[in-house]
């Protein structure tokens, strides 16, 4: 149970302010999720190179230990490595063998994904969210329901390249779905129901579905209550279950599309007074793609 936010910029002049805007949206949702917070930002990227966000302690020596054409920077408990795409498997293997204490939270050309236990304002500050620029991204504040208050259980979840998902609600068939997805090669690192939803979408995308098709399919296969906000390298999508118990409000202007669990989260956005503010309908996929 939680608060979720998302922001997708259409006007590139806002990109330097992206983190500042998302941070404010995130902090307003503290009441819905005081346990932990997280966010994914789609920032700059280089063709042929991939960013791996790694979470854990003692990150200082990793870039040097890895060697090769790899750069990196540290934000609090997270290290973002940038490496040639062809090196991804080697780096992942090295991390698994040499540093099993670390977790890869996200991977992709442009995605960086940060999450920690604590109040959203503190989490945003620790990672310097307000100073980040980006084109789109999603954020989440968590009130843990049936799993532990841990960083691993915080959202967003990413189980595919440049893909991430935040979820508000509670799935009732996630154990069965997990058993269906694991033999198909989808790996899970928590016992969280929302991670299963992320894994489900990754599987559908792997099978060749578009993001919209994957979300459509989830309406048949996922049981329970959900509002999802999903990010991909170039896209941003929203879906609510057919019963739609969990709240959602959206705002669209010429400059951006924004999502919040409550309107309060959107109240500080520029030009919100003249935005088209609407509630996404149940069981309908809303998707935006960058040109």
Partner 1 sequence: MDLENIPQTLPRFSATFDPHTLAEIRRAAATGIYDIRGGGTKRKLPHFDDLLFLGASVSRYPLEGYREKCATDVWLGTRFAKKPIHLKTPVTIAGMSFGALSGAAKEALGRGATIAGTSTTTGDGGMTPEERGQSQTLIYQYLPSRYGMNPDDLRRADAIEVVVGQGAKPGGGGMLLGQKISDRVAMMRNLPKGIDQRSACRHPDWTGPDDLEIKIEELREITDWEKPIYVKVGATRPYYDVALAVKSGADVVVLDGMQGGTAATQDVFIEHVGIPILAAIRPAVKALQDLGMHRKVQLIVSGGIRSGADVAKALALGADAVAIGTAALVALGDNDPAYEEEYRKLGSTAGAYDDWQEGRDPAGITTQDPELAARLDPVQAGRRLANYLSVLTLEAQTIARACGKSHLHNLEPEDLVALTLEASAMAGVPLAGTNWIPGQTF
Partner 2 sequence: MPVVDLAETTKRDLNAQLHALPADTNATHWTVENSEGQHALAVGLDVPITVEINGHAGYYCAGMNKQATVVVDGNVGVGVAENMLSGKVHVKGDASQSAGATAHGGLLVIDGDASARCGISMKGVDIVVKGSIGAMSAFMAQSGNLVVLGDAGDALGDSIYEARLYVRGTVKSLGADCIEKELRDEHKADLRRLLDAAGLDETVSVADFRRYGSARGLYNFHVDNSSAY
Shortest separation between residue 240's beta carbon and partner 2, angstroms: 9
Nearest to 231 by CA among 3, 5, 52: 5
Binding status of residue 224 toward partner 2 by CB under 8 A: no
Active site residue 2: yes
User: Pick from partner 2, partner 1, none: which does 146 bind, CB < 5 to 8 A by kind?
Assistant: partner 1
Count, residues near partner 2 per rule CB under 8 A: 16
- DSSP conformational letter for 108: E
| 276 φ/ψ angles, rounded to the nearest 5 degrees | -85, 110
Q: Which of 182, 221, 278, 289 binds partner 2 (CB under 8 A)?
A: 278
Binding status of residue 115 toward partner 1 by CB under 8 A: no
What is the rounded distance in angstroms from the CA atom of residue 103 to the CA atom of residue 137?
21
User: Pick from partner 1, partner 2, none: which does 34 bind, CB < 5 to 8 A by kind?
Assistant: partner 1
Q: Which range binds partner 1 by CB under 8 A, 26-34, 63-71, 89-97, 274-282?
A: 26-34
Q: How many Cβ atoms from other residues are within 10 Å of residue 271's Cβ?
A: 11
Nearest to 238 by CA among 224, 255, 252: 252
Name, in order, each residue with C-beta under 8 angstroms of 206's C-beta and a sequence gap of 6 or more. 160
User: Pick from partner 1, partner 2, none: which does 264 bind, CB < 5 to 8 A by kind?
Assistant: partner 2
Nearest to 288 by CA among 135, 105, 121: 135
Binding positions for partner 1, 221-280, rule CB under 8 A: 225, 245-247, 261
């Amino acid at each position: 149970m939680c608060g979720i936010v998302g922001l997708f910029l259409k006007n590139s002049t806002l990109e330097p302010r992206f983190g500042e805007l998302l941070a404010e949206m995130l902090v307003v949702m503290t009441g819905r999720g005081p346990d932990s917070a997280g966010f994914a930002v789609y920032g700059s990227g280089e063709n042929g190179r991939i960013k791996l966000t790694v979470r854990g302690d003692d990150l200082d020596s990793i870039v040097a230990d890895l060697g090769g054409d790899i750069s990196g920077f540290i934000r609090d408990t997270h290290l973002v490595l940038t490496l040639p795409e062809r090196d991804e498997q080697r780096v992942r293997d090295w991390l698994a063998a040499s540093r099993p204490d670390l977790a890869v939270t996200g991977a992709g050309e442009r995605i960086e994904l940060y999450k920690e236990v604590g109040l959203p304002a503190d989490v945003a500050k620790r990672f310097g969210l307000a100073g980040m620029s980006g084109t789109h991204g999603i954020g989440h504040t968590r009130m843990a329901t049936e799993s532990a208050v841990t960083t691993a259980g915080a959202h967003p979840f990413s189980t595919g390249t440049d893909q991430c998902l935040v979820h508000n609600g509670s799935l009732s068939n996630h154990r069965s779905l997990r058993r269906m997805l694991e033999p198909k090669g989808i790996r899970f690192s928590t016992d969280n129901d929302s991670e299963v939803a992320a894994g489900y979408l990754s599987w559908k995308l792997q099978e060749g579905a578009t993001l919209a098709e994957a979300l459509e399919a989830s309406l048949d296969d996922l049981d329970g209550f959900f509002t999802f906000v999903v990010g991909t390298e170039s896209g941003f999508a929203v879906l609510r279950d057919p019963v739609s118990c969990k709240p959602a409000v959206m705002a669209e202007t010429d400059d951006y599309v924004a999502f919040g669990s409550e309107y309060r989260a959107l109240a500080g956005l520029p030009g919100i007074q003249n935005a088209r503010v609407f509630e996404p309908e149940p069981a309908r996929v809303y998707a935006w793609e960058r040109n």
